[in-house]
Amino acid sequence: MTVAVAPEFMPRVRRGEPMKKHTSWHVGGPADVFFNPRDRAELAAFLRTLSADVPIHWIGLGSNLLVRDGGIEGVVISTHGTLDRLERLSETTVYVEAGVACARIAKQCIKWGLGPAEFFAGIPGTMGGALAMNAGAFGGETWRHVVKVETIDRHGRERTRSASEFKVAYRHVEMPAADEWFVSATLEFERKPGAHESEVRELLARRKASQPIGEWSCGSTFTNPPNDHAARLIEAAGLKGFRIGDASVSVKHANFIINHGNATAADIEALIEHVQGTVERLHGVKLRPEVRMVGRKTS
């Protein structure tokens, strides 16, 4: 679609931006409009200029996102390199903007002697994405620590909401209003004297030993079903190494799908569907994708 952009933002807007440059799977067609705001004020001003019928999508590090080959209709707002304020508010509370990488939260909280925050090191995204899906790792979950959040709507209006206003479940968060997005969170931790960065390094070493770190993936592809693990079901179905085009189920960790360099989004989506169908046929369990799939399919 053709998106009208106010003249003052034209120099900073990119049209037809290839989304494969912004996702960890390195796939995805062009965004109609791609915008990386300098700060919250510019973000609010930009949102106020958009027509009410223009779809708006948000992206951080692109680690939990499959953009289809036909690209994204409307506007993509990137928080990468912006919305990056991280500061301590009190003895136990921390303020984090949506663009802050989760790994940075883990390292800084260790320096401040706060925990348990080490699990954030295992989340390959930003605070915004972690809030949107209640991301977790190593037994920890984002929303266990949320006190309140700040959001912004498509009219550029900001508001503060308490954690109790959100319905939160495993890898799922229900927003209290449509067209409203996270811009920050206040997190509560406990004092953890003697915390050391070696704890984060140990967790990351465990992660590296069991997951295909360094290869092109989105992290975990499927959520774990109740009382089981997606990786166990996929491996038991004999799908490790199964390949469609240049995408395959990782031989190191069955809940990861790898782009070996030339996969298309269609390859990856077809592989996701094949894994779902095979696991359901053999085990009677329908795996739910953890990854968000957006955009237009090509014919």
Q: Which string of b and e fits 211-232 if b means at least 16 CB within 10 Å?
A: beeeebbbbbbbbbbeeeebbe
40, 63, 171, 217: which is the annotated catalytic residue? 171
290 is catalytic: yes
- Provide the 3-class DSSP secondary structure of residue 30: strand
Closest-CA residue to 264 (of 244, 289, 242): 244
CB atoms within 10 A of CB 163: 17
Q: Cα 33 to chain center, whole Å?
A: 20
Q: Are 252 and 246 in contact (CB under 8 A)?
A: no
SS3 content of the chain, % helix, strand, coil (to 5): 30, 30, 40
180 is catalytic: no
Q: Write out the H or E segment, with its range, that includes residue 82.
A: none
Full DSSP string of 187-232: EE-EE-TT--HHHHHHHHHHHHHHS-TTSB--S-SBPPPTTS-HHH
Rounded to 5 degrees, what are φ and ψ at 39?
-160, -175
63, 220, 248, 250: which is the annotated catalytic residue? 220
CA dist 142 and 171 (Å) reads: 10
Closest-CA residue to 70 (of 33, 18, 34): 18
Task: Calculate the alpha carbon distances from 205 to 107, 125, 225 in Å.
Answer: 15, 18, 26
250 is catalytic: no
Q: Are 113 and 149 in contact (CB under 8 A)?
A: no
Active site residues: 171, 220, 290
